Structure 1
Amino acid sequence: MITLSEQSKKIIFIAFFVIFTIGTGYALYYFFFRQLATTPPATDQTQGFTNTFNPSGAREDVTPTTDTGTGLLPQTTITPVILDTTVQINPLAPVNVLRDELTQAISQGTDGSTRFYSPDDGRFYRINPDGTTTSLSDRQFFNVDKVDWSNIKDEAILEFPDGNNIYYNFETDRQATLPKHWEDFEFAPADSQIIAKSIGLDESNRFLVTADADGNQSTAIYSMGKNFNSVIPSWSPNNVVVGFSKTGTPQADGAEEIYLLGKNHEQLRSLIVPGSGFQPNWSPDGKKLLYSVYHSRDGYKPMLWVSDAFGQEVGRNRKKLNINTWADKCVWADKSIIYCGVPVSLPDGAGFRQESFNATSDDVYKINLSSGLSEKINTSEQNHPIRNPMLSQDGNQLIFTDAVTGKLYSYTLAK
């Protein structure tokens, strides 16, 4: 047996202690402090358009034909607009009460006034730029269900719950009765004609029609058949497109093909939208289209997109705006600036039933398509559900009706 001196024992103990300390330190570093290798996040790429298109063909009949293709879309990268909610463009945007009574069917006149219908007395009025209110006519129209205003003149088509439709010119006091089976009216950009859906009892007698504002000189331009609910009358500001038809070829990954219906049966290129529930909103020059759709990737909440929508550019430069709202809650200020009412909260599946969230309070966002920034406007009353938004003629006021109270408000916007 080897006998160690006290000196040797001390040396061995010290050596063991040093080795143990080094080992323990390395173990602590390895398991707790070393930098772990990271995997770059996957790029979110969604199928969509490339720069190659196929013409959609003439469509006097919007009923889809049988397709034998694959229905697959070319792979492309969607460029999202940067959402920056940390920037407040106005510390507190003032809220103005323009009318403290039930107000419906607001529309901007060419003189900068705000036209509206008062269901309390059945009359139409205008709020002038100086804040005064004047009557458009002494005529009374009770129980108007919907008002379709012209773009330039003080004239409108009044739709009633019993199906009656009346054209009325507030400037000349001229009135005309339109067919009861016509619905979804819209005026041409220069008010030269109207477009409507003519819904006959038989499927073979359902057409998209154009006519003079008083209903004369009507012409059936597209046969809708059983797909009349899939057709959206929507006259583009550049007078090229008169509507959309959601009857295109089924696409991969829940996308839909939307036909653009040309005024003169032009062979316009179709639009591929990445979801369902397509709701359009034309830019002022008719060259771009803001729209909302819903898809599982967004929890079936409405999502805003924008793309080119004119000539050979239809569908190009498609961008996801990362804003959960519907297109009819937005208004274009110019070709690159959009203001939107955005619900403060939406559950998954909200895109299926917009009417269930009409009472939800809205934030206001300013979207700049040129810079790619979305800015939240902070207001002193962040509790109004926005309906029928429009801008004042000088662009300084966002005017809207409260979807719950029906009162007329405006937010003062920062320039």
Structure 2
Amino acid sequence: MDKKRIIFAILFIIVTILLGYLMYRVFFAKKTPKPPTPQTQEQLPGGQFPIIGEGGQPGQIVTGTIQLPTAGFVPPQTPALPPPPAQTPLVQKLANDIVVSPAADSFGGAKFYNAQDGKFYRLLPDGTLALLSDDVFFGVENVSWSPKTEEAIIEYPDGANIYFDFETKKQVTLPKHWENFSFSPTATKIAAKSIGLSPETRWLITADPQGNNITLVEPMGQNADKVDVNWSPNQQIVATSLTGKPMGGNREQVLMIGLHGEVFKAIIAEGQFLDSAWSKTGEKLLFSSYSTASDYKPELWISNAAGDLIGTGRKPLGLNTWAEKCTFADDRFVYCAVPKTLPTGSGFEQSLADAIEDDLYKIDTQTGIKSKLLLEEGHVIDTILVNGDTDALYFTDKNQKGIFTIAL
């Protein structure tokens, strides 16, 4: 009995161990990963390592026999830039025909006579042209414009003079022996020289623009050629005259002529007086003269020219040009066309400068500081004026047709 029990106990233990092992394999044992399929390689005799070649020197890099392709040079790509905007020329031509007697108008632009089609035009501030009238006036030599109204005195080479109102189209023929017209600042009167047949009938006169209500201001006698009719903006002066007392030292008196026989002080010109231009208020007079000191070239001067201050504050501006080539922006600043060079003696004969290009200057008459404005191409400036807003200059050229403008 004892042996049977021992045998059963041993069998029981063996069975239990086998069952336990089976359960472990099924439920707990990790599966052995399947080894990767080996690459095809040379079969070696069992138990031997593969034979390797002889190595190189330690630390030496062995260059392979297969070279990578060499890339060509690729230049850097520059991004395309848009073309620069076209620059507006500094000087622009606003009309292509022969322009006569341009003048500033009350609309901020200018007005002028077109000698090619015989019509009058207004130049608007935006640069466009508009007809002042459909009427045609052929062969006009000069135009004196009203500063306030749409009126003008039209002069012809044969001496004929016509008053014309561009609004009403009223036309009046004025005497042929009247010349050198100037409107009053209020445009209610005109001044002129009345050149009679004899010296005693030659007078400085005033009248209304249509030639009525004539007033004799001053007799001129044989000195009519020494009188310049140029009404001052403050209405004190109607003309200037070179009939003052003789002065030594190469100097000349410039007399101021009033409407009522006033005795004004004179302005002294160094050398021979040439021409003049009023400031906007009439407080100052810009003038040119020539002398031995200037090599007989025109020289610009400025002087007080109103009331008791006439003749005071006189000083040179250091530029050789004519006053008629200048225009005032206000009482302080003036713009002038100045020839780049001038021959000796050009004060005697202005035509010597007709082929000489000009520089354009802005002048501070108080400090004497001069600033040159850039002109893109050569111009020989004839008439120059500033527009009503003082932001642009208009000018004509002695050698080119049209009217030009430059922004300030």
TM-score higher than 0.5 here? yes
Q: Is structure 2 residue 374 aligned with structure 1 residue 393?
A: no
- Post-superposition offset of 1:109: 1.3
> How many angstroms apart in 1 are the aligned matches of 2:121 and 2:143?
13
- Post-superposition offset of 1:379: 2.0
Q: Which residue in the other structure is 1:292 paired with?
A: 288
Q: Which residue in the other structure is 1:205 paired with?
A: 201
Secondary structure of the residue aligned to 1:312 is helix
Q: Deviations over 1:19-49 (max 9, x none)?
A: xxxxxxxxxxxxxxxxxxxxxxxxxxxxxxx
Q: What CA RMSD, in Å, does the superposition of the two structures yield over aligned residues?
A: 1.3
Secondary structure of the residue aligned to 1:351 is coil
Q: Deviations over 1:218-270 (max 9, x none)?
A: 11110000001001111100000000110111112110011110112112111
Q: Which of residues 185, 188, 207 is equivalent to 1:192?
A: 188
Q: Which residue in the other structure is 1:147 paired with?
A: 143
The 5-angstrom pairing of residues 116-135 of structure 1 reads: 116-135=112-131
The 5-angstrom pairing of residues 248-259 of structure 1 reads: 248-259=244-255
Q: Is the contact between residue 277 and residue 352 of structure 1 (CA under 8 Å) also seen in structure 2?
A: no
Q: Which of residues 398, 402, 409 is equivalent to 2:404?
A: 409
The 5-angstrom pairing of residues 233-244 of structure 1 reads: 233-244=229-240
Q: Is the contact between residue 252 and residue 273 of structure 2 (CA under 8 Å) also seen in structure 1?
A: no
Q: Is the contact between residue 273 and residue 287 of structure 2 (CA under 8 Å) also seen in structure 1?
A: no
Q: Is structure 2 residue 355 aligned with structure 1 residue 363?
A: no
> How many angstroms apart in 1 are the aligned matches of 2:272 and 2:367?
28
Secondary structure of the residue aligned to 1:407 is strand
Q: Which residue in the other structure is 2:109 paired with?
A: 113
Q: Deviations over 1:67-100 (max 9, x none)?
A: xxxxxxxxxxxxxxxxxxxxxxxxx981111112
Q: Is structure 2 residue 206 aligned with structure 1 residue 172?
A: no
Q: Is structure 2 residue 260 aligned with structure 1 residue 264?
A: yes
Q: Which residue in the other structure is 1:220 paired with?
A: 216
Q: Is the contact between residue 93 and residue 378 of structure 1 (CA under 8 Å) also seen in structure 2?
A: no
Q: Which residue in the other structure is 2:379 paired with?
A: 384
> How many angstroms apart in 1 are the aligned matches of 2:354 and 2:402?
14
Secondary structure of the residue aligned to 2:223 is helix
Q: Is the contact between residue 93 and residue 379 of structure 1 (CA under 8 Å) also seen in structure 2?
A: no
Q: Which of residues 228, 231, 252 is equivalent to 2:227?
A: 231
> How many angstroms apart in 2 are the aligned matches of 1:133 and 1:377?
26
Q: Which residue in the other structure is 1:307 paired with?
A: 303
Q: Which residue in the other structure is 1:277 paired with?
A: 273
Q: Which residue in the other structure is 1:95 paired with?
A: 91
> How many angstroms apart in 1 are the aligned matches of 2:147 and 2:178?
20
- The TM-score normalised by the length of structure 1 is 0.76
- Post-superposition offset of 1:406: 2.6
> How many angstroms apart in 1 are the aligned matches of 2:234 and 2:170?
28
**How many residues in Structure 1 have an aligned counterpart in Structure 2?**
321
Q: Is the contact between residue 343 and residue 352 of structure 2 (CA under 8 Å) also seen in structure 1?
A: no
Secondary structure of the residue aligned to 1:356 is helix
Q: Percent identity?
A: 42
- Post-superposition offset of 1:129: 1.7
> How many angstroms apart in 2 are the aligned matches of 1:172 and 1:365?
40
Give 2:396's aligned amino acid.
T
Bigger mean CA deviation after superposition, 367-376 or 197-206: 367-376
Q: Which residue in the other structure is 2:55 paired with?
A: none
Q: Is the contact between residue 121 and residue 140 of structure 1 (CA under 8 Å) also seen in structure 2?
A: yes
> How many angstroms apart in 2 are the aligned matches of 1:275 and 1:317?
18
Secondary structure of the residue aligned to 1:142 is coil
Q: Deviations over 1:290-345 (max 9, x none)?
A: 10000000000000000111111111111111100000000001111010000111
- Post-superposition offset of 1:194: 0.3
> How many angstroms apart in 1 are the aligned matches of 2:213 and 2:382?
34
> How many angstroms apart in 1 are the aligned matches of 2:255 and 2:188?
24
- Post-superposition offset of 1:146: 0.7
Q: Is the contact between residue 385 and residue 402 of structure 1 (CA under 8 Å) also seen in structure 2?
A: yes
Unpaired runs of at least 5, structure 1: 1-91
Q: Which residue in the other structure is 2:334 paired with?
A: 338
Give 2:276's aligned amino acid.
P
Q: Is the contact between residue 99 and residue 114 of structure 2 (CA under 8 Å) also seen in structure 1?
A: yes
Q: Which residue in the other structure is 1:81 paired with?
A: none
Give 1:277's aligned amino acid.
F
> How many angstroms apart in 2 are the aligned matches of 1:388 and 1:372?
23
Q: Is the contact between residue 99 and residue 402 of structure 2 (CA under 8 Å) also seen in structure 1?
A: yes
Q: Is the contact between residue 109 and residue 154 of structure 1 (CA under 8 Å) also seen in structure 2?
A: no
- The TM-score normalised by the length of structure 2 is 0.77
Unpaired runs of at least 5, structure 2: 1-87
Q: Is the contact between residue 277 and residue 351 of structure 1 (CA under 8 Å) also seen in structure 2?
A: no
